[in-house]
């Protein structure tokens, strides 16, 4: 398995989060002409460190996981954000050994009247 497959499974597997996201959960990019009246989640990741065992074999990789929630009101934004943190914190699946929440950053686009929250997580993945 690959990290991308495992994290996709986790990101799309929780019905309590999916019920709030009518636009969908997408990796890296939103679709063209995405509807600003819907709620969206976009996630991405990158490797940040390799942890070795006795200096030679890779024991696990550290990944930075970025999850951005886009909503048309602050109550929905906070609900999706809180449920995402609650769901992902301590989660494991196949090679993903653990995920932990680090921080978040709120923003808004006044022209489009949308609210965004970018959440940062760290994931440990067995290599």
**What's the number of domains the chain is made of?**
1
* pLDDT, tens digit (0-9, with 9 covering 90-100), for 17-73: 888 899 989 999 988 889 889 999 999 999 998 877 766 676 788 999 999 999 999
Q: What is the mean pLDDT of the chain?
A: 90
Residue 16's pLDDT band, with cuts at 50, 70 and 90, is confident
Lowest-pLDDT range, 30-34, 75-79, 105-109?
30-34
- Give pLDDT, residue 104: 96
Residues in CB range of 15: below 8 A, 6 or more apart: none
CATH classification of the domain holding 109: 3.30.2000.10
What are the backbone angles phi and psi of residue 23, rounded to the nearest 5°?
-85, -25
* Domain of residue 33, residue span: 3-126
pTM of the predicted structure, to 2 decimals: 0.88
């Amino acid at each position: 398995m690959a990290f991308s497959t495992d994290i996709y499974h986790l990101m799309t597997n929780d019905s309590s989060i999916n019920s709030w996201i009518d636009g969908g959960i997408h990796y890296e990019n939103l679709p063209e002409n995405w509807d600003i009246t819907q709620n969206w989640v976009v996630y991405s990741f990158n490797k940040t460190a390799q942890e070795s065992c006795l200096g030679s074999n890779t024991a696990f990789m550290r990944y930075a996981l970025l999850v951005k929630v886009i909503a048309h009101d602050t109550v929905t934004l906070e609900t999706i954000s809180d449920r995402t943190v609650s769901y992902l914190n301590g989660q494991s699946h196949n090679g993903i050994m653990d995920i932990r929440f680090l921080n978040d950053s709120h923003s808004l686009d006044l022209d489009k009247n949308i609210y965004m929250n970018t959440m940062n997580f760290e994931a440990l993945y067995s290599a």
